[in-house]
Structure 1
Amino acid sequence: MVASNGTGNGGGRRPAKPHAVVIAYPYQGHVIPAAPLALRLAARGFAVTFVNTESVHEQTARALGVDRHRYDIFAGARASSDHKEPLDVRYELVSDGFPLGFDRSLNHDQFKEGELHVLAAHVEDLLRRLVVDPASTCLVADTFFVWPATLAKKFGVPYVSFWTEPALIFNLYYHMDLSRRARPLQLLQGPAAEGHHHVDGLAHAALAGFLTHCGWNSVLESVWAGVPMLCFPLLTDQFTNRRLVVREWRVGVPIGDRGKVFPDEVSARIQGVISGQEGKELRQALRKVTAKLKAAAAPGGSSQRSFDDFVDELTHRCACGGGGGRTLMT
């Protein structure tokens, strides 16, 4: 089933400009970086269709206390104002094959099976409607999916594999993979942290520290806001992220570093971050790391230059109608 919230193009021909179909992985932590990427592509002249699952859409609307049938995360971007032109960004919903009430965490293996087969089939149905002109269309999908390259080849469009974890983690995975097979890969560095959804809250003057599981979104947001972190990782890249935060950048402290959490340790860590010498040293280190991050995202910064190169390459691929099925990384 393919569902629309009423902002799709209804199958009609889109304006004569490059069209990026952005597909977010069905977890909120992956939607968070994908949405700003969609907006930045739209701001650079792309017509963008952002694809979300009905389940994540419903969870987000429920958390915000709004009607899921009317909620559209890009409504504001499409509205013109005195200072900004409206962006050509559309919002489409697809089913992941399970009812909204299905517990995807409790039934993890079943959900992953559906993600692999059912969600892919629903996205393919949607692409049959969206890909009006393959020569000017590209597919931008989260690297965690395993099927976008196959769909891109089927529809004859370039494919951008969007990596949402630290480049360090990608490097580790890549070199682990080299032990099994060698494959050439073009890697393009994407935009930095500006615009992430927790930054305003983290920037509050009363906030002295941030307890985080060390997801990459949270790490970037905390550094951007200059807030020390209390690090309690749970899985995957989060343990490596903690090492970056605690040992390399020295802008956070660990909690439960040896697998167990004790109340006195938590209390001592919080007090140290809030009022101790440790907190002063963390904030001093943060000022340097924050400055580097903001410099990278600023006009002319390394992240901005990399994003400019990426947009130029993608625009060229769409304009020339070349690269059907070929993969780029960002």
Structure 2
Amino acid sequence: MVPTPPPPTAALRRNIPHAIMIAVPYQGHINPFVSLALKLASRGIAVTFVHLDHIHRRLLESHSASVDDPDIFAEARRLSPELNIRYTTISDGFPLEYNRDQNGPTYFKYLVEEFPAVVDKFVGKLIADDMADSDSRFIHFLVADTMCAWPAAIAGKYNLVNVSFWTQPALVFSLCYHWDIMKQKGHVPNDNTTELEINYLPGIKTISSRDLMSIIHEREGILVETLTIVFDKVKKADFILQNTVQELESETLTALSKYQPNYAIGPVNFSQGLPTAAVSKSIWSESDLCNHWLDSKSRGSVLYVSFGSVVQIPKQELDEIAYGLLLSGVNFLWVVRAGTSSGDGDVLPEGYEEKIRDSDRGLLVPWCNQIKVLESPAVGGFLTHCGWNSAVESIWCGVPMICRPVMLDQPTNRKLVVDDWGVGLNLYDGGGSSPLVDRERIADKIRELMSSDKVRDAASRVKETVRNAMKIEGSSEKNFDQFLRDLKVRIQSSH
């Protein structure tokens, strides 16, 4: 456990709402969770933010910081001294050297079944230490990622208000929330190749079975078990925060609010006036080559390509995408992360990097600061796996997308991006993977996106909607203010 920063003065520590936040150790969850911590602290909430030891080490190593550096929030507090954030880490029970990526299913099973006991011990000690300190009387509450299996039990044991933070769109949340109804109807799991139309879920217009999250079609496994557990438990949460925008998912959010208080506060990563850039969030080392290269390209001429931090693409398909990029004649910046290919050997075709260097039309990097890339005037499109963070960041920057969803929430995110909001195109007909992966078709799709005024205009309109939501009088800010008012009433009544 790393040292915590010096405690606030006694005057500031009495009867202050105090959020206990333990981050999920995956990149797509870390980004919004850190931003939410800063947002809570900026509104006078005290925060204890907890990373796992191995994530802390990866964060520091990815930014070439000292592994002895105790506090990733130190610079943020220097810039904004009013932020009352304590930072610490805990062990997940495995050695730091244990390869959690290569042992993904085993490790995730541990997080679901065994890690809650670690959380229980940590929370119990934190509360006991506070009670023993005569100068400190925080009013503790939990802010936990919805995908955690432990919040309901911990909140119940220690009489804590339970705030659940959902980092994906409300549509995905609602589909998971109503999974039992679809099972009763016999629509999930669905092994049939025939598409089914689902038109009976509250707040959701007719949706095809092809657009359901991949996990919903699975019959067994730790992910299915976890989904069942967490969405049974989340129904006991006092409040649910949704990392989406009211105007984009109004019907779904209205229906969900009939069950529990739901607040659309997103995209929280873009909350204004917070020192988010001062906090290490990326567990991957970011290349510093991108911006200089982008500055040399004309406006809207570059396609950015990234398949996120987790997913894998079949090797044959990656080869076709690689040559499709060359055939398109479009400039491209491609994040070629180690492990992107599900096949053996190198991610890229033999000799491909030499072709890129000779043409000067492409730049290959192992990882990058995605927001900085998408903000570049040179970027005119984004070929993406359609993870929610990537989709939101692209929308925020007004960059149209080509969608190649792979797993989890990505097929449903694709539906929102392409079918509902019109800010993207499908890489393949039908929206998902294609049995007829062909470099010429990929090149055609790239050229179509980069020249499409229709998609670009839609991206500009949705960008304006999202940015307006994050303004002081915008829906997301108003919803967050209402959440804070409701939270303070609830925690006062519970004590």
TM range (shorter): 0.7 to 0.9
2:413 match: 241
Letter of the 1:54 counterpart: D
Q: Normalising by the residue count of structure 2, what TM-score does the alignment of the two structures yield?
A: 0.59
Please list the CA deviations of residues 260-291 of structure 1 after superposition, one character each: whole Å capped at 9, or x if unmatched: 343223322222223x2x2x221111111111
- 1:71–1:92 distance in 2 versus 1, CA, 3 Å: closer
Partner of 1:302: 475
Pairing 1:176–2:179 present: yes
Distance 2:166 2:488 in 1: 19
Aligned residues: CA RMSD = 2.6
TM-score by length of 1: 0.86
1:289 partner SS: helix
Q: Which runs of 5+ in 1 are unaligned?
A: 323-330
User: In percent, how many aligned pairs have the same letter?
Assistant: 36
166-175 or 252-261, larger mean C-alpha shift: 252-261
Deviations 1:96-136 (A, max 9, x none): 22222222232123202321244222222221232225871
Counterpart Cα distance in 2 of 1:160 and 1:8: 26
* Superposition map of 1:132-281 within 5 A: 132=130, 136-178=139-181, 185-193=259-267, 195-196=269-270, 198-256=370-428, 257-260=431-434, 261-274=437-450, 276=451, 278=452, 280-281=453-454
* Structure 1 pair 264–99 and aligned structure 2 pair: CA distance change class (3 A): farther
Matching residue's letter, 1:259: S
Cα distance in 2 between the residues matched to 1:31 and 1:272: 34
Highest CA radius of gyration, 1 or 2?
A: 2
Kindly provide the CA deviation profile for residues 148-200 of structure 1, in whole angstroms up to 9, marking residues without a partner as x: 11011111111111111100111111122356799684132142225457433
Q: Secondary structure at the match of 1:208?
A: strand
CA gap 1:61/1:264 in 2 versus in 1, 3 angstroms: farther
2:385 and 2:491 mapped to 1: Cα distance? 39
Name 1:7's counterpart in structure 2.
Answer: 5
Note if contact 2:4-2:71 (Cα within 8 Å) is conserved in structure 1. no
- Secondary structure (helix, strand or coil) at the match of 1:136 reads strand
**2:52 paired residue number:** 53
Structure 1: distance between partners of 2:471 and 2:61: 34
The alpha-carbon distance between structure 1 residues 8 and 169, as it changes in their structure 2 partners (threshold 3 A), is farther
Q: d(CA) in 1 for partners of 2:173 and 2:447?
A: 35
- Residues 191, 303 of structure 1: 8 Å contact kept: yes
Q: Partners in 1 of 2:138 and 2:153 — Cα distance?
A: 17
Match of 2:40 in 1: 41
> Which residue matches 2:291?
none
1:137, distance to aligned residue in structure 2 (A):
0.7
Q: CA contact under 8 A between 1:96 and 1:114: conserved in structure 2? A: no
Q: One-letter code of the match for 1:243?
A: K
Is 207-216 or 184-193 further displaced after alignment? 184-193
Task: Spell out, residue by residue over 1:193-248, the C-alpha distance to the aligned partner (whole angstroms, 9 max, x if none).
Answer: 25457433311111111222111111111101111112121211111101111111
* TM superposition shift of 1:308: 0.9
Counterpart residue identity of residue 100, structure 2 = R
> With CA pairs under 8 Å and 6+ residues apart, which has the higher RCO, 1 or 2?
1
C-alpha distance in 1 between matches for 2:149 and 2:494: 24
**Would the alpha carbon gap of residues 108 and 8 (structure 1) be closer, same or farther in structure 2, given more than 3 Å must change?**
farther
